[in-house]
Amino acid sequence: MKIAYGDLIGGVSGDMFVAALLDLGLSLNRLRGELKKIPTLQFDISSRKKTIHSLRASQFQVICPKHEARRSWKQIRDLIKRSKLDAAVKSTSSEIFAALAAAEAKIHGVPIDEVHFHEVGATDSIVDIVAAVLGVRELGIESFYFSVIPLGRGLVSSMHGALPAPGPATLELLRGLPVVGIDIDTETVTPTGAAIVRTLGKQFAHQPAMTIEKIGYGAGQKEFAERPNLFRIILGRVDSSAALEEMLVIETNIDDMNPQLFDHVMDRLFAAGARDVFLAPIQMKKNRPATLLSVIAEPRDRQKLSEIIFKETSTLGLRYYPVSRMILKRETKKVTTRFGEITVKIIEQLDGTRRAAPEYDDLKRIARANNIPLKLLYDTVARKLRA
């Protein structure tokens, strides 16, 4: 499986993201041809090499009219919908803009369909976002991982006047993601850059285990004395049968709560994105019997999952720590039996062999509906899978 790690050395913007993809080998002419499928937009694109702190990088630029009317979220959504782009590119591009629209709606206190973009509604931002999605698809990147996000400080100018850096929209887009403040008096992450990494990012932590194939550097428009203003993409592969993921374990010991409530707590945690939730009996100080509540989750979900645990349990504190996990490749299929359709999970082992297991919830539902023993149904499906 082809994966990529985005290293936000100096931050990220839409043009830096696309520049790094071009540095990896994305064809500018191919990109130009695909972008022309967006109707009514007047623009051209260019790329050049630039040296940043002695490192050779690519720089991407969109050339478009200087004065444009601001566009609403609805106009941009319709523009993408009417384009002749691939359906998957349309979907992801719209998802990125939807994240931007939601952030703008919240900070300005207006309904999402009434949001009108200023800077991010301009042609160059539309091109940056769609180009980023096109580039990821053209290079065959299946999963994107990112580093912790560096944020500058100070004030930046905008159409609304002077705003604090990071900008309000950028901060809203980065809610729940790991960030770190750096000693640079300017904006390091633009709203467009934040929306792209937020939507494409699988995890935000250390570089995952991978076999490195290519490295691409995208240069920003600004120059920092303190660090190179670069966004780096490391392209590589992992074993297609097993994926490595950087996860987070959140734990707490609970000795004073009605155990009936754990069922509700687990439901809420799963609904909020926890990958797994489990309970274990433990013995605490003064020989008190207690329950260990453990949650496995993506690092970016730490805050919202922690809030649920604090609200729904009697705990006074949590502990959390990073953990790596290896997961086998799997897919789901529908199998037709004389009792009805059942979802089956097919797992690929490291040696390439495959095994299958029916989904328990489907078995239980069908067994109840047909008033038959669950074991009989399981054996029937198992025989069909072996055949």
Predicted confidence band at 159 (pLDDT cuts at 50, 70, 90)?
Answer: low
What is the Cα–Cα distance from 140 to 122, expressed in whole angstroms? Answer: 28
> What is the pLDDT confidence band of residue 230, given thresholds at 50, 70 and 90?
very high
The model's confidence at residue 115, banded by pLDDT at 50, 70 and 90, is confident
**Once rounded to an integer, what is the mean pLDDT over residues 254-259?**
94
Residue 351 has pLDDT above 80, yes or no: no
> Mean pLDDT for the chain?
90
Confidence (pLDDT) at 156: 76
> By mean pLDDT, which of 159-163, 207-211, 222-226 is the weakest?
159-163
Does residue 308 contact residue 277 with C-beta atoms inside 8 Å? no
- Which domains are present in the chain? 2-238 (no CATH), 243-326 (3.30.70.1380), 327-386 (no CATH)
- Give 283's strand partners: 289
Q: If DSSP states are collapsed to H, E and C, what string results for the chain?
A: CEEEEEECCCCECHHHHHHHHHHHCCCHHHHHHHHCCCCCCCCEEEEEEEEECCEEEEEEEEECCCCCCCEEHHHHHHHHHHCCCCHHHHHHHHHHHHHHHHHHHHHHCCCHHHCEECHHHCHHHHHHHHHHHHHHHHCCCCEEEECCEEECCCEEEECCEEEECCCHHHHHHCCCCCEEECCCCCCCECHHHHHHHHHHEEEECCCCCCEEEEEEEEECCCCCCCCCCEEEEEEEECCCCEEEEEEEEEEEEECCCCHHHHHHHHHHHHHCCCCEEEEEEEECHHHCEEEEEEEEECHHHHHHHHHHHHHHCCCCCCEEEEEEEEEEEEEEEEEEECCEEEEEEEEECCCCCEEEEECHHHHHHHHHHHCCCHHHHHHHHHHHHHC
pLDDT at 70: 76
| 279 vs 187: CA distance, rounded Å | 44
Instruction: Check residue 268 and give its pLDDT.
Output: 96
Q: Confidence band (pLDDT; 50, 70, 90) for 160?
A: low
Residues 159 and 92: their CA atoms lie apart, in Å, by 27
Q: What is the pLDDT of residue 332?
A: 85
pLDDT of residue 203: 84
Residue 142 has pLDDT above 70, yes or no: yes
What pLDDT is stored for residue 108 in this prediction?
A: 83
- State how far the Cα of 159 lies from the Cα of 122, in Å rounded to an integer: 12
Of 57-66, 154-163, 207-216, the one with minimum mean pLDDT is: 154-163
Distance between the two ends of the chain, CA-based, in angstroms?
30
Can you name the residues that pair with 177 across neighbouring β-strands? none
Distance CA 30, CA 86 (A): 14
Q: Are 219 and 52 in contact (CB under 8 A)?
A: yes
Query: What pLDDT is attached to residue 235?
Result: 97
Q: Average pLDDT for residues 116-137, to the nearest whole number? A: 86
- As a whole-number percent, the residues of the chain with pLDDT over 70 amount to 97
Residue 387 to residue 380: CA distance in whole angstroms: 11
pLDDT band, residue 173 (cuts 50/70/90): very high
Rounded Cα distance between 381 and 387, Å, is 10
Give the pLDDT band (50/70/90) at residue 316: very high
Q: Residue 25: what pLDDT?
A: 97
pLDDT for 239: 67
| Model pLDDT, residue 196 | 97
- Taking alpha carbons only, the member of 259, 256, 243 closest to residue 288 is 256
Task: Dump pLDDT digits (tens) for 38-67.
Answer: 998 989 999 999 999 999 999 999 998 777
Residue 250 clears pLDDT 70, i.e. is over it: yes
Query: Can you tell me the mean pLDDT for 345-360?
Result: 84
Q: Mean pLDDT, to the nearest integer, of 157-180?
A: 86
Torsion of Cα atoms, 145 then 204 then 201 then 45, to 10°: -80
Q: Is the pLDDT of residue 220 over 90?
A: yes
Flag whether pLDDT at 356 surpasses 80. Answer: yes
Cα 145 to Cα 233: distance, rounded to the nearest angstrom: 10
pLDDT at residue 256, rounded to an integer: 93
Q: Is a pLDDT exceeding 70 seen at residue 242?
A: no
**pTM of the shown model:** 0.71
Q: Are 334 and 343 in contact (CB under 8 A)?
A: yes
> What's the pLDDT at 48?
97
With 80 as the cut, is the pLDDT of residue 213 above it? yes
Structure tokens at 204: 């935000």
Give the residue from 108, 147, 111 showing the smallest Cα distance to 20.
Answer: 147
Which of the residue ranges 85-94, 259-268, 309-318, 369-378 would you say has the lowest mean pLDDT? Answer: 369-378
Would you mind telling me the total number of residues written for the chain in this entry? 387
